[in-house]
Amino acid sequence: MKNQHTTYSILDLALVSEGHSLNQTYNNVLDLAQHAEAYGYTRYWLAEHHNAPNIGSSATSILIGYVAEGTNTIRVGSGGIMLPNHSPLIIAEQFGTLASIYPDRIDLGLGRAPGTDRETAQAIRSDFMQAAHSFPAELEKLEKYFSTENAGSKVRATVAEGVKVPIYILGSSTDSAHLAAKKGLPYAFASHFATTHLWEALEIYREEFQPSAHLKKPYVMAGVNIIIADTDEEAERLSTSLIKMILGIFTGKRDYVQPPTAMTNELMDIMRHPQIHQMLKFSFIGSKAKVKAQVKEFLEQTKADELIAVTNIYDIKDRIRSYELFGEIMRELD
pLDDT in tens, 54-92: 999 999 999 999 999 999 999 999 999 999 999 999 999
Q: Which residues on neighbouring strands pair with residue 9, listed in sequence order?
A: 308
pLDDT given at position 177: 97
Could you tell me the pTM of the whole model?
A: 0.95
Task: Map out the domains of the chain as residue ranges.
Answer: 7-231+285-333
pLDDT tens digits, residue range 173-228?
Answer: 999 999 999 999 999 999 999 999 999 999 999 999 999 999 999 999 999 999 99
Mean pLDDT of 100-124: 92
pLDDT at 2 over 80: no
Mean pLDDT of 295-314: 97
Beta strands in the chain (DSSP E): 7-12, 43-46, 75-82, 106-111, 167-171, 187-189, 220-228, 283-286, 306-310
The CATH class, in words, for 7-231+285-333 is alpha beta
Rounded distance, CA 324 to CA 318, Å? 10
